[in-house]
């Protein structure tokens, strides 16, 4: 497993997904680095490597759906779904006010075991919201993955919510 993680780290470095400098984050916080996950999730090599790693780690017979919050996680979830042949779900940030107005797109059955995936986590709040959406709609979430964890509380916050978050890489790996 170690070498695949190293390969992923190399790909992230080569594609300048982690940039060092002075940045203002969406939260308004200042940071010495920026994780540009849109660069990662639009790159086929990175997507493929992420899908390979996560597909190997999940129990294919015991997992009914792979889910992720829009927008960043959708390419990742799609890649994992293709690799593992497990159907996917897309979780909106908010219900759309027209059509079926569903928060979750895809076929979620009651008691489906769902693995939730995110592109990057800081505190883990968007992941927690995605997991709540799945739970409130009858799905069971026990595991979550993130490609890059910024190591700012997400692991602890998810544990408090009864979820084991498994980062593929942590910012400390850089």
Burial class of residue 112 in the structure, from the number of CB atoms within 10 Å of its CB (0-12 exposed, 13-18 middle, 19+ buried): buried
Which of 146, 93, 92, 141 is closest to 123 using CA atoms?
Answer: 146
Q: Is 114 annotated as a binding residue?
A: no
The full 3-state SS of 45-105, as one line of letters, equals HHHHHHHHHHHHHCCCCCCCEEEEECCCCHHHHHHHHHHHCCCEEEECCCCCCCCCCCCEE
Q: Is 121 annotated as a binding residue?
A: yes
Q: Is 61 annotated as a binding residue?
A: no
What whole-number distance in Å separates Cα of residue 73 and Cα of residue 89? 11
Q: Is 65 annotated as a binding residue?
A: no
**Residue matched to tokens 């799609």:** 78
Q: Is 78 annotated as a binding residue?
A: no
Q: Is 7 annotated as a binding residue?
A: no
Q: Is 92 annotated as a binding residue?
A: yes
Q: Is 96 annotated as a binding residue?
A: yes
Q: Is 100 annotated as a binding residue?
A: no
* Binding residue numbers for orotate: 122, 150
* Binding residue numbers: 92-93, 96, 118-126, 150
* Binding residue numbers for 5-phospho-alpha-D-ribose 1-diphosphate: 92-93, 96, 118-126
């Amino acid at each position: 497993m170690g070498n695949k993680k190293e390969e992923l780290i190399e790909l992230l470095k080569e594609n300048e997904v982690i940039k060092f400098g002075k940045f203002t984050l969406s939260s308004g916080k200042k940071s010495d680095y920026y994780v540009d996950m849109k660069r990662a999730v639009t790159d086929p090599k990175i997507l493929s490597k992420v899908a390979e790693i996560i597909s190997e780690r999940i129990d294919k017979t015991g997992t009914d759906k792979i889910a992720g919050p829009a927008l960043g996680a959708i390419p990742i979830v799609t890649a994992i779904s293709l690799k593992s042949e497990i159907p996917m779900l897309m979780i909106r940030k908010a219900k759309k006010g027209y059509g079926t107005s569903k928060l979750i797109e895809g076929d979620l059955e009651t008691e489906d075991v769902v693995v939730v995936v995110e592109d990057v986590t800081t505190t883990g709040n968007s992941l927690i919201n995605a997991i709540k959406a799945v739970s409130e709609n009858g799905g069971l979430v026990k595991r979550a993955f993130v490609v890059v964890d910024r190591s700012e509380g997400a692991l602890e916050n998810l544990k408090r919510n009864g979820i084991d978050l498994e980062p593929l890489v942590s910012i400390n790996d850089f």
